[in-house]
């Protein structure tokens, strides 16, 4: 489970965690992983285009760079800029679930896990399967995808692809996204082996993305990872990511201003746990990380860091639990960060559980924040790492097998926060450290699972957030103070008779200093036969809105298509 050193049942976690399960049916009811992340109002997906072509994810009001994104437990954050952290290289068809830790995770995962952690986990197939999918929609949308899985006693192989194309809902907002992935799972006497190879290529019109320019951009990434179990208590992990970014400020005049960036990251880890007694586990490990960038704008830079961690977990199921952990991270030049954490949980009764945690977190500035410059923005090579203390408390309510709820409160106190600021519209945006940035928030959730077979789920969620706006002393913030002060939603998922699946969501969001707006999405699919027709309707109210100030979002969207199950379960 993301947010714990060793897997535990979700109800036994002492942290605020969301888990989104992606089955073959629910994937028909989604355009991208954003449709799942938006089910939690504390997860602020600030998209610049549909289909997550580029989006900023923040949790609890912080900077989007302060959210760590992982793929199967290995970090895939882009060291150049946090704008690319949701560039997930694998197609939607390969994803089995998404786990989200809300709050600090640096004691486990290191840099960037200040406000939260998103762990995208690929699915583990149990039988042979072959699916093809195609769809079309307004704005010139044209999509194709496919997944082939072969399961043998000692080896499982998954091959998948997806291609998304749109001519754009406005000028210079066209895009194309091509993803390919191979996932191999081997079983031997040594233990399980997992190998993943993936690539993603997305050219897109970037009109308004970085100011009032008709820009164009192309990002490409290549990703490889390996995981090896060594016996029952040890795991060795390795990953490599290569990414390029070609940015043209004026699409019709590339010679005016063009940037080319290439970054590479290496990540290796050894993780181990020992069971000390029936209710006590010691987890420990080491991790090494290196990233580098070659850029005509940013220059050539690289940095390395190594870390060691240890944690003691004591628990008696349905009674109490406590976790004490710490991580020491050492960087090039012998600078270091120490990140401790403590989390406790106590069952007041079979229905109520109290939990609380305190932890330290940090984030290294991206290469863009350090060195980038263009006609509107200026980096700062003297930026210090962002640091924060995060305090959380929650109450879980298990009223009945069909009804559960929770309420969470948190307070995050940041030091050396990083954002772009300016004194007036005539000035450049300057990357800056500032102190005393505090956020206080509350989130409440109520979920009812109804029907004789629990085939209907209705969820009510609300989140409120208050930040300390006065820390800027009259300066204008570019990103952080766009947070949602109030956000609420109602969602309904239903498995209907005769193989129909349905999901709808209505969300209302009020950003700081802006008028509230509402969005209504609905999805329906039929899975009765091997031919699965589906319909996806977004922004049914045709709301005129901007998730990032100055970046217009599309009006009502309609996508319809068919999935063909050539082989495997319907």
Chain segment 17-66, per-residue pLDDT in tens: 999 999 888 899 998 898 999 999 989 998 888 778 898 899 988 888 89
Domain ranges of the chain: 10-567
**In this structure, what DSSP letter does residue 436 have?**
-
pLDDT tens column, 537-559: 999 999 999 998 889 999 999 99
Task: Note the pLDDT of residue 212.
Answer: 85
Non-local CB neighbours of 283 within 8 Å, separated by 6+ positions = 5, 6, 271, 272, 273, 309, 310, 311, 312, 313, 325
DSSP assignments along 506-552, one per residue: EEEEEETTS--EEEEEEEEEE-SSSEEEEEEEE-TT-----SBTTB-
Count of C-beta atoms within a 10 Å radius of residue 470: 9
pTM value is 0.94
CA 266 → CA 61, 294, 300, 328, distances in Å?
A: 29, 15, 17, 19
pLDDT tens column, 276-294: 998 999 999 999 999 999 9
Q: Give the H or E element holding residue 368.
A: helix 367-371
d(CA 324, CA 342): 5
Q: What is the CATH number of domain 10-567?
A: 2.40.170.20
Taking residues 124-128, what's their average pLDDT?
Answer: 89
d(CA 9, CA 448): 20
pLDDT tens column, 175-205: 999 999 999 999 988 889 999 999 999 999 9
Is pLDDT above 70 for 1?
Answer: no
Provide the percentage of residues in the chain whose pLDDT is more than 70.
99
CA 144 → CA 91, 141, 462, 516, distances in Å?
A: 11, 10, 35, 35
Task: Note the pLDDT of residue 469.
Answer: 66
Per DSSP, which regions of 370-478 are E strands?
Answer: 377-378, 386-400, 403-415, 417-422, 429-434, 437-450, 456-467, 476-477
Q: Answer with the residue of higher pLDDT: 294 or 426.
A: 294
Token reading at 5: 């050193």
Q: Answer with the residue of higher pLDDT: 482 or 300.
A: 300
pLDDT tens column, 160-171: 999 999 999 999
Count of C-beta atoms within a 10 Å radius of residue 334: 6
pLDDT bin (cut points 50, 70, 90) of residue 11 is: confident
pLDDT bin (cut points 50, 70, 90) of residue 518 is: very high
Q: Helix H segments across 194-343?
A: none
């Amino acid at each position: 489970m993301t947010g714990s050193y060793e897997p535990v049942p979700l109800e036994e976690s002492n942290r605020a965690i969301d888990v989104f399960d992606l089955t073959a049916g629910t994937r028909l009811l989604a355009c991208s992983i954003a449709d799942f992340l938006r089910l939690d109002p504390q997860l602020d997906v600030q998209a610049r285009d549909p289909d997550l072509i580029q989006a900023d994810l923040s949790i609890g009001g912080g900077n989007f760079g302060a959210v760590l994104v992982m793929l199967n437990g290995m970090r895939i954050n882009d060291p150049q800029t946090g704008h690319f952290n949701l560039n997930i290289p694998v197609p939607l068809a390969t994803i089995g679930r998404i786990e989200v830790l809300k709050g600090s995770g640096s004691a486990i995962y290191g840099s960037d896990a200040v406000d939260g952690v998103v762990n995208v986990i690929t699915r583990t197939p149990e039988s042979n399967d072959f699916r093809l999918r195609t769809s079309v929609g307004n704005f010139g949308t044209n999509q194709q995808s496919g997944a082939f899985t072969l399961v043998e006693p000692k080896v499982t192989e998954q091959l998948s692809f997806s291609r998304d194309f749109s001519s754009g809902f406005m000028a210079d907002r066209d895009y194309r996204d091509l993803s390919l992935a191979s996932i191999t799972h081997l079983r031997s006497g040594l233990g399980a082996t997992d190998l993943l190879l993936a690539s993603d290529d997305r050219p897109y019109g970037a009109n308004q993305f970085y100011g009032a320019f008709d820009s164009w951009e192309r990002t490409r990434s290549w990703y490889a990872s390996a995981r090896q179990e060594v016996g029952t208590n040890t795991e060795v992990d390795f990953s490599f990511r290569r990414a390029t970014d070609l940015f043209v400020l004026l699409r019709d005049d590339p010679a005016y201003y063009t940037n080319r960036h290439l970054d590479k990251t290496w990540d290796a880890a050894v993780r181990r746990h020992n069971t000390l007694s029936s209710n006590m586990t010691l987890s420990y490990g080491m991790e090494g990380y290196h990233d580098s960038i070659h850029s005509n704008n940013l220059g050539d830079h690289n940095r390395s860091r190594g870390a060691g961690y240890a944690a003691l977990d004591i628990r008696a199921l349905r009674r109490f639990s406590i976790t004490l952990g710490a991580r020491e991270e050492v960087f090039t030049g012998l600078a270091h960060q120490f990140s401790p954490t403590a989390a406790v949980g106590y069952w007041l009764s079979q229905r109520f559980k109290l939990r609380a945690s305190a932890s330290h977190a940090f984030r290294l500035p991206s290469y863009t924040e350090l060195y980038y410059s263009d006609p509107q923005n200026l980096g700062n090579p003297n930026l210090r790492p962002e640091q924060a203390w995060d305090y959380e408390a929650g109450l879980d309510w298990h009223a009945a097998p069909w009804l559960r709820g929770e309420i969470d409160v948190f307070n995050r106190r940041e030091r050396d926060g990083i954002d772009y600021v300016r004194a007036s519209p005539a000035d450049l945006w300057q990357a800056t450290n500032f102190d005393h940035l505090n956020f206080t928030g509350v989130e409440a959730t109520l979920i009812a699972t109804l029907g004789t077979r629990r085939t209907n789920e209705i969820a009510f969620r609300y989140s409120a957030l208050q930040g300390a706006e006065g820390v800027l002393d009259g300066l204008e913030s570019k990103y952080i103070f766009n947070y949602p002060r109030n956000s609420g939603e109602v969602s309904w998922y239903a498995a209907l008779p005769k193989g129909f699946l349905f999901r709808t969501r209505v969300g209302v969001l009020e950003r700081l200093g802006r008028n509230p707006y509402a969005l209504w999405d609905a999805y329906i699919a039929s899975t009765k036969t091997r031919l699965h027709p589906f319909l996806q309707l977004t922004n049914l109210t045709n709301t005129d809105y901007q998730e990032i100030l100055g970046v217009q979002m599309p009006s009502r969207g309609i996508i319809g298509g068919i999935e063909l199950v050539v082989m495997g379960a319907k």
